[in-house]
Chain A
Amino acid sequence: MTAAQNTARMAESVKDAAIAAFLVAVLGFFFFALRTDIGTGGLDLTYRWGLWLIAIAITFGVRLALNLFVFKAAKPITSGIKITVPSGVTSVVGRFLGPVLLIVALCLPFILMALFPNRDRQFIDLAILIMTYVMLGWGLNIVVGLAGLLDLGYVAFYAVGAYSFALLAQYFEIGFWTALPLAGLLAAFWGIILGYPVLRLRGDYLAIVTLAFGEIIRVVLLNWYEFTGGPDGISGIPKPSFFGLEFSRTGGFADFFGLDYDTIHRFIYLYYIILVLALITNFVTLRLRKLPIGRAWEALREDEIACRSLGINTTNTKLTAFSIGAMFAGFAGSFFATRQGFISPESFTFLESAIILAIVVLGGLGSQVGVVIASVVMIGGIEILRNLGFLKEIFGPDFEPTQYRMLIFGLAMVLIMVWKPRGIISSRNPSAVYKERKKISSDMVAQGEGH
């Protein structure tokens, strides 16, 4: 490239950066430069020219740097930029990602205790929360990812599981380990009852009606005061025991094994319970995918009419997907109840369904590893954004970083969907192989009903 061209490009870049800075100046004038506070007898107007100028300067500098060093052009290239990874690397990553994640998950509490001795409880608690969402994501993946039925009311089954255990414990004094299978069965049963009328619907109607059913369950829990305690919720839900040993100060787990009593034992124990539950979900899902029922789910997602022409009872096949998905939500729900010790209908709003669905969609429909990555990013990301204290150093003590949490989070989601429209892991593994296993690109895979 000649010097003349370089100079021309430099000039173009500076001009482009100046335009961007001007736009920020105009837009930012009302957001940064002016500030109103409620004062005596009206609003007080204060000017923050410094902040405004800093924003303009940052825009100019970053835009110029991007133009010169990243895009290597006078203007940003908005198309054609792809983050390409050599194919050898992806296949190695693909092969080892699952086992590595499993090993990390198995050792996680001890890694956290070693790395953050002061905040280990908080981090293990976060790990438990993430793992719960991983399990819910895997459960919903059966319904949405494999069978292609868009279920916007998945949280209803989570609620059924949680309330099953809470009510069984309250009225019959049943412990966690007995209530766990019962909660799963009850949720599956509700899945069948709700599914039977709903699954005749197709497309958007299915999505709307599942949403309505999710809300109905919550509203019933909220208003049936005599039975469920309504908005007061249910408290005093028993903690799980370790083969009959309580995690209490005396005469419990710590005494039996000769350890010093520490509340962290119970957190670690809860973590391993949810890890095992999640791994069971994963194992069953992976097995089911290779069985005729799983193949029928995927075929149903691809083309329901062709399925019927091949002798598949589509109603029963959809119901099995719906009820097995519901069962895992029921397990997760009863775990949630025992972890919290207190549940109320507030925990089971539509937002929960939306988060679980977002995990499945971001991860890539039908992908198990994708769900894990998406859960860590979404749930862990939200939590990390709570700790944005360092931004105060930059924007001054008035800046409240937690207010920008959902904004940053939403932006991240948009970016992921622009970069990978079919989710993070967007290829499908065939369920049976004749000679050579080939990944199927997501462009060919249908998404099913209601997408």
Chain B
Amino acid sequence: METAMKTTSSHNWDHNVVLSVEHLTMRFGGLVAVNDLSFNVGRGDITALIGPNGAGKTTVFNCVTGFYKPTEGRIVMRHGAGFQAEKIEALTRTGRQYDDDGDDRVFLLERMPDFEISKRAKVARTFQNIRLFGGMTALENLLVAQHNPLMIASSMTIGGIFNLPGYRKARAEAIDFAAYWLEKTGLIDRADDPAADLPYGAQRRLEIARAMCIRPHLLCLDEPAAGLNPRESTELNELLQYIRQDHDTSILLIEHDMGVVMQISDHVVVLDYGQKIADGSAESVRNDPKVISAYLGVDEDEVEAVEETIDQAIREAEEHEPDSDKGGKS
């Protein structure tokens, strides 16, 4: 696995950061959904945000992508390398939303409206309950994602009405780009079928393809493996690996399927009751007693006892049914 290549430098997320969430707090009335949360997403990493139900994962996502305005805190998106601490501090003081001079663009996401986050900061997202344009074809879905460049190419519709050559060229390129992603997600044969007609797994892939059509720097996936069968899950892992390697896109994902998380994540952040309880490589998080206790729903010092009981139960079950299926443990 390519995590081996990355071990030369200590942790990517400590020095090459694409997104940093700083002291994020989100309150809904009296309910504190996220409390003083800070974490970094390394450039080119696959970062998983995990935690029990109701831990505040989706709230963090909605803050990052602008669907919620955070109560407190700062969310910084960087297109250039390094921390650019001075530039960000200066930007924070001016009250502007972003600084897009040159290649080292920085964005303060908590100040930007949702569509600007996608349009300028290039943060794409998918949804827990798939949100495709069901009555439009797969191809049209991907063309909608290229709305902003196409609007400019059609000179804000005026050039498009007269079908000027500049727009015709941009349109052909947009269709080619969409076809590229349909190819990559194995949907090219269904390009002209309405999205609502596709099977569930294909809809999940189409939503990822659509998000990739905004050419994002950061792709946020909300439970991409939910409802997928094991084979589709493996294909998804391959797709995500491909996206991060060949498209210079960092990935932040929420996932409940620990198989997926442990296999592909470089970096895992664990939330419980809106607070970060662990942050590190997949391996270190897996063995963290705090994480285990949060998932089992018991106190930290009871973890060993509970695990002992579970192991014993499994052994007993196996003795009773010696030829039960081998792939059952996860």
Binding site for B on A (CB under 8 A): 284, 287-288, 291-293, 295-296, 298-299, 302-303, 305-314, 320, 428, 430-438, 440-442, 444-446
Asked if B133 and A303 sit within 8 Å, CB to CB, the answer is: yes
Contact partners of A441 in chain B: CB under 8 A: 194
Contact partner of A440 among B116, B137, B210, CB < 8 A? B137
6 contacts between A and B (CB under 8 A): A288-B161, A291-B150, A292-B154, A298-B135, A436-B192, A438-B193
Return the contact of A284 from the options B65, B161, B188 (Cβ within 8 A). B161
The CB with the most chain B CB atoms within 10 A, among A288, A305, A311, A313, is that of A311
Nearest-Cβ distance from residue A386 to partner chain B, whole angstroms:
39
A435 touches B133 (CB 8 A): no
Q: Which residue of A lies closest to B167 (CB)?
A: A291
Q: Contacting B151 at CB < 8 Å: which of A293, A310, A442?
A: A293
When the two chains form their complex, are residues A296 and B144 in contact, meaning their CB atoms are under 8 A apart? yes
Contacts A306-B131, A432-B139; A291 near B157 (Cβ below 8 A): yes
Contacting residue for B133 out of A287, A306, A320, A432, CB 8 A: A306
Chain B contacts with A in 96-144, Cβ cutoff 8 A: 114-116, 118-119, 124-125, 127, 131-137, 139-140, 143-144
Q: Dominant SS at the B interface?
A: helix
> If A287-B161, A291-B157 touch, does A306 touch B147 (CB 8 Å cutoff)?
no
Expressed in whole angstroms, the Cα–Cα distance for A446 and B171 within the complex equals 25
Chain B neighbourhood of A299, CB < 8 A? 133, 136, 144, 147
Chain A residues within 8 Å of B178, by CB: 434
B175 within 8 A of A: yes
Cross-interface CB contact of A302 among B136, B160, B191, cutoff 8 Å: B136
**Contact: A311 with B147, CB < 8 Å?**
yes
Q: Are A446 and B134 closer than 8 Å at their CB atoms?
A: yes
Name the CB-closest residue of B to A433: B192
CB pair B160–A287 under 8 Å, yes or no, is: yes
The reply to whether A306 and B214 form a contact with Cβ atoms under 8 Å apart is no
Contact between B115 and A312, CB atoms less than 8 A apart: yes
Residues of chain A within 8 A of B197, CB atoms compared: 444
Question: In the complex, which of the residues B136, B150, B171 contacts A430, with contact meaning CB atoms closer than 8 Å?
Answer: B136
A444 CA / B144 CA spacing, docked (Å): 17
Known A293-B151, A303-B131; contact A434-B175, beta-carbon cutoff 8 A: yes
Since A307-B144, A434-B175, A440-B137 are in contact, a sample of 13 more A-B pairs with Cβ atoms closer than 8 Å, ordered by chain A residue number, is A292-B160, A295-B143, A302-B135, A308-B118, A309-B114, A310-B115, A310-B145, A311-B147, A312-B115, A430-B192, A432-B137, A444-B194, A446-B135
Tell me which residues across on chain B come within 8 A of A430, comparing CB atoms: 136-137, 139-140, 192
What is the bound-complex CA distance between A306 and B114, given in angstroms?
11
Q: Does B313 contact A (CB under 8 A)?
A: no
A126 to B: closest C-beta gap in Å:
32
Looking at the assembled complex, report how far the CB atom of B217 sits from the nearest CB atom of chain A, in whole angstroms.
13
- The answer to whether the Cβ of B196 comes within 8 Å of any Cβ in the partner chain is yes
Q: A295-B140, A309-B124, A311-B214 given as contacts; is B134 within 8 A of A302 (CB)?
A: yes
Check B268 for interface membership: any CB of A closer than 8 A. Answer: no
The answer to the question of B148 belonging to the interface, with a C-beta cut-off of 8 Å to chain A, is yes
Q: Please measure, in the bound complex, the distance between the C-alpha atom of A307 and the C-alpha atom of B150, giving whole angstroms.
A: 15
Which of B135, B146, B188 has most A Cβ within 10 Å? B135
Partner of A309 from B118, B143, B151, B192 at Cβ < 8 Å? B118
**Given the complex of chains A and B, what is the CA–CA distance between A432 and B116 in angstroms?**
26
Which chain A residue has the least Cβ–Cβ distance from B130? A306
- 5 nearest interchain CB pairs? A445-B135, A311-B119, A311-B118, A302-B133, A434-B191
Contact (Cβ within 8 A) B135 A432 = no
Shortest beta-carbon distance, B216 to chain A, in Å? 10
Q: Is B34 an interface residue (CB 8 A)?
A: no
CB-CB contacts of B162-191 with A at 8 A, as 1s and 0s? 010000000100010011001000001001
Known: A314-B115, A438-B192. A432 touches B148 (CB 8 A): no
Which B residues are in CB contact (< 8 Å) with A438?
Answer: 137, 192-193
